[in-house]
Structure 1
Amino acid sequence: MTALLTRPDDESVRPDPVEALRPPSDREATLLGRGMPADRLRGWIVALVITVIGGVVRLQNLGWPTDKGTPVFDEKHYVPQAWQMLRNGGYEDNYGYELVVHPPLAKQLIAIGEWLFGYDGWGWRFLPALAGTLVILLTVRIARRLTRSTLLGAIAGILVICDGVLHLQARMGMLDIFIALFVLAAFACVLCDRDQVRQRLAVAVREGWATESVWGPKLGFRWWRFGAGLMIGLTFGVKWSALYYIFAFGLLTVFFDVAARRAAGVERPWLGTIRRDVLPALWAIMVIPFLMYLGAFWAWFASETATDRNYVAIKDIAPGFWGWVPASLRSLGDYSMNVLHFHETLVTPKDNPHPWESKPWTWPMGLRPMLYYYQGGAEATGCGQSTCVRATMLIGTPAMWWLALPMLGWGLWRSIFRTDWRYIAVLVGYLAGFLPWFTNIDRQMYFFYATPMAPFLILGLTLVLGQILGSARRGFERRGTGLLVVALYVGLVVANFAWLWPVLNGNAITNDQWQAEMWLPSWR
Structure 2
Amino acid sequence: MTPASETAADRAAVAPAKTRRQDWLVALVLLALSTMSIGTRYWLPASLFWDENYHVASAQKHIDGVMYMESHPPLGKMLIALGEAALARNAALDTSALLRSDHVQQVQLPPGYSFAGVRLASVLAMIAAVMLLYATLLLITRQRLLAFVFAALPALDNALVVHARAAMLEGIQLAFALGAIGVLAFALRRGGRVRLYHYAALGTLVGLSIAVKLNGAVLLTLPVALFLAEQWPVLNEARWRAVARRLSRAVPAFCLPALLVFFGSFYVFIATATEVVPGHTYKASAEYLQHLRERTTWTAAGFRAGLRDHLRYMAEYADGVPRLDVCKPGENGSDATRWPLGGKTINYRWNREMVQGVSYVEYTYLVSNPVVWLGVLGAMVLSVALLLGRAVFGHAVDPARRRDFCWILLFSSLYIAYFAAILQIERVMYLYHYLLPLLFGIANLALVWNYLFGAGLAQGHWHARVNLLLFLLLVAAGFVYFAPLTYGWPLSTTQMQQRAWFDVWQLQPVR
Which TM class, normalised by the smaller chain length? 0.7 to 0.9
Seen in structure 2, the aligned counterparts of structure 1 residues 60 and 473 have a Cα distance that, compared at 3 Å, is closer
TM-score, with structure 2 as normaliser: 0.79
Q: Measure, in 2, the Cα distance between the counterparts of 1:255 and 1:513.
A: 52
Q: Give the superposition deviation at 1:303.
A: 4.4
Tell whether 2:470 aligns with 1:488: yes
Identity %: 21
Alignment counterpart, residue 368 of structure 2, candidates 355, 371, 396: 396
Secondary structure, in 3 states, of the residue corresponding to 2:152? helix
Q: Measure, in 1, the Cα distance between the counterparts of 2:313 and 2:283.
A: 13
In the TM superposition, 1:24-423 aligns within 5 A as 39-67=19-47, 71-88=48-65, 92-93=66-67, 100-115=70-85, 116=87, 117-118=89-90, 119-195=113-189, 199-200=192-193, 221-246=195-220, 248-259=221-232, 261=234, 267-268=237-238, 271=240, 274-297=243-266, 298-305=268-275, 311-313=285-287, 326-348=301-323, 350=325, 352=328, 355-378=331-354, 386-416=358-388, 417=390, 418=397, 420-423=405-408
2:374 partner letter: W
Match of 2:450 in 1: 466
Q: Measure, in 1, the Cα distance between the counterparts of 2:469 and 2:274.
A: 59
Q: Give the superposition deviation at 1:468.
A: 4.3
Q: Give the superposition deviation at 1:112.
A: 2.1
Q: Measure, in 2, the Cα distance between the counterparts of 1:154 and 1:314.
A: 50
TM-score, with structure 1 as normaliser: 0.77
Q: Give the superposition deviation at 1:296.
A: 0.5
Contact 2:284 2:309 in 1 (8 A): no
1:175 partner letter: L
Q: Give the superposition deviation at 1:353.
A: 6.5
Contact 1:308 1:331 in 2 (8 A): no
Aligned length, in residue pairs: 441
Q: Measure, in 2, the Cα distance between the counterparts of 1:37 and 1:199.
A: 20
Q: Give the superposition deviation at 1:38.
A: 7.8
Q: Measure, in 1, the Cα distance between the counterparts of 2:372 and 2:241.
A: 41
Seen in structure 2, the aligned counterparts of structure 1 residues 121 and 187 have a Cα distance that, compared at 3 Å, is same
Q: Give the superposition deviation at 1:164.
A: 1.4
Contact 2:75 2:265 in 1 (8 A): yes
Q: Measure, in 2, the Cα distance between the counterparts of 1:494 and 1:314.
A: 52
Q: Measure, in 2, the Cα distance between the counterparts of 1:273 and 1:180.
A: 35
Seen in structure 2, the aligned counterparts of structure 1 residues 330 and 277 have a Cα distance that, compared at 3 Å, is farther
Q: Give the superposition deviation at 1:487.
A: 2.4
Seen in structure 2, the aligned counterparts of structure 1 residues 50 and 475 have a Cα distance that, compared at 3 Å, is closer
Structure 2 stretches of 5 or more lacking a match? 1-15, 91-112, 291-299, 391-396
Q: Give the superposition deviation at 1:475.
A: 6.8
Secondary structure, in 3 states, of the residue corresponding to 2:377? helix
Q: Measure, in 1, the Cα distance between the counterparts of 2:214 and 2:458.
A: 47
Contact 1:249 1:428 in 2 (8 A): no
Contact 1:177 1:451 in 2 (8 A): no
Q: Measure, in 1, the Cα distance between the counterparts of 2:218 and 2:225.
A: 12
1:19-50 deviation digits (Å, cap 9, x = unpaired) = xxxxxxxxxxxxxxxxx998223212211321
Q: Measure, in 1, the Cα distance between the counterparts of 2:481 and 2:334.
A: 24
1:348-371 deviation digits (Å, cap 9, x = unpaired) = 275747521112111122121222
Q: Measure, in 1, the Cα distance between the counterparts of 2:455 and 2:17.
A: 13
1:58-86 deviation digits (Å, cap 9, x = unpaired) = 1112122233xxx1111101011101211
Match of 1:320 in 2: none
Q: Measure, in 2, the Cα distance between the counterparts of 1:253 and 1:272.
A: 18
Q: Give the superposition deviation at 1:311.
A: 2.5
Contact 2:37 2:156 in 1 (8 A): no
Secondary structure, in 3 states, of the residue corresponding to 2:116? helix
Seen in structure 2, the aligned counterparts of structure 1 residues 169 and 412 have a Cα distance that, compared at 3 Å, is same
Seen in structure 2, the aligned counterparts of structure 1 residues 166 and 284 have a Cα distance that, compared at 3 Å, is farther
Secondary structure, in 3 states, of the residue corresponding to 2:214? coil
Secondary structure, in 3 states, of the residue corresponding to 1:461? helix
Secondary structure, in 3 states, of the residue corresponding to 2:67? coil
1:249 partner letter: L
Tell whether 2:499 aligns with 1:497: no
2:335 partner letter: K
Looking at secondary structure, tell me which structure has more helix per residue. 2
Q: Give the superposition deviation at 1:275.
A: 1.3
Q: Measure, in 1, the Cα distance between the counterparts of 2:470 and 2:174.
A: 28
1:410 partner letter: L
Seen in structure 2, the aligned counterparts of structure 1 residues 268 and 342 have a Cα distance that, compared at 3 Å, is same
Q: Give the superposition deviation at 1:377.
A: 4.6
Q: Measure, in 1, the Cα distance between the counterparts of 2:437 and 2:271.
A: 33
1:44 partner letter: W
Seen in structure 2, the aligned counterparts of structure 1 residues 146 and 353 have a Cα distance that, compared at 3 Å, is farther
Match of 1:27 in 2: none
Secondary structure, in 3 states, of the residue corresponding to 1:396? coil
Q: Give the superposition deviation at 1:165.
A: 2.1
Contact 2:158 2:366 in 1 (8 A): yes
Match of 1:451 in 2: 435
1:326 partner letter: A
Secondary structure, in 3 states, of the residue corresponding to 2:363? strand
Q: Give the superposition deviation at 1:107.
A: 0.8
Q: Measure, in 1, the Cα distance between the counterparts of 2:329 and 2:360.
A: 28
Contact 1:304 1:310 in 2 (8 A): no
